[in-house]
Structure 1
């Protein structure tokens, strides 16, 4: 028997935030790009938001978590995933990644990258 899988995602959400391990990074800040993708089995297709993940909520989750200064980007990603599954417990898979543009290191580096995935135990 076939089963639908639905993906709701936001790509290239741009933010300025004060994340960084070193105190200078938390003072100066940096630009970040976040991708957030959810996957789930839809409960129906009756043209109602209650049947899906609202990407406006995903945007709000990202923006709120980016306001909370963290040392590690891994912590930011874990907090984003935790909030997504709190609001949408039916989500089966979440993948979130963050790029830190021009990280403060010697050389020309376009961005650093961290990704974290969650899969429900269903």
Structure 2
């Protein structure tokens, strides 16, 4: 029987300077990132071994690096995270990377705007 594993990082918060408008890149804003990845169980028994699974600490580190690279579009931010995750963990079958900008500079109160990139690799 084939088993799938899903690993997630939910609502990781970062301060970054992404935005289309110059003011957004100067002032910065808070963003949250959620990542969900599925993959085939690589070994019949994981034996509680961190090296045999997708490490969500690595997902957080990848996201932190990507959030430091200022981009105009949330799509570009999410795609950059997805690309680096897939490069480091090529055995992932499905990946979803959601980036939300908290309190975006819009007329009226908006909790967040967001983009999700989906990768189906297998």
- What displacement does 1:46 show? 3.0
Partner of 1:59: 60
Q: Distance in 2 between matches of 1:6 and 1:112?
A: 29
* Superposed displacement of residue 100, structure 1: 0.7
Runs of at least 5 residues in structure 2 that lack an aligned partner in the other structure = none
How do residues 11-22 of structure 1 correspond to structure 2 at under 5 angstroms?
11-22=10-21
In structure 1, what is the Cα distance between the partners aligned to 2:61 and 2:18?
Answer: 18
Question: 2-side partners of 1:78 and 1:38: how far apart?
Answer: 14
Q: Which residue of 1 aligns with 2:93?
A: 92
1:23 equivalent in structure 2: 22
Counterpart in the other structure of 1:36? 35
Q: Provide TM-score, normalisation by structure 2.
A: 0.94
Task: Return the TM-score normalized by structure 1.
Answer: 0.94
Q: Residue 3 of structure 1: CA displacement?
A: 1.4
How far did 1:105 drift? Answer: 1.1
CA distance in 2, matches of 1:85, 1:112: 25
Aligned positions, number = 120
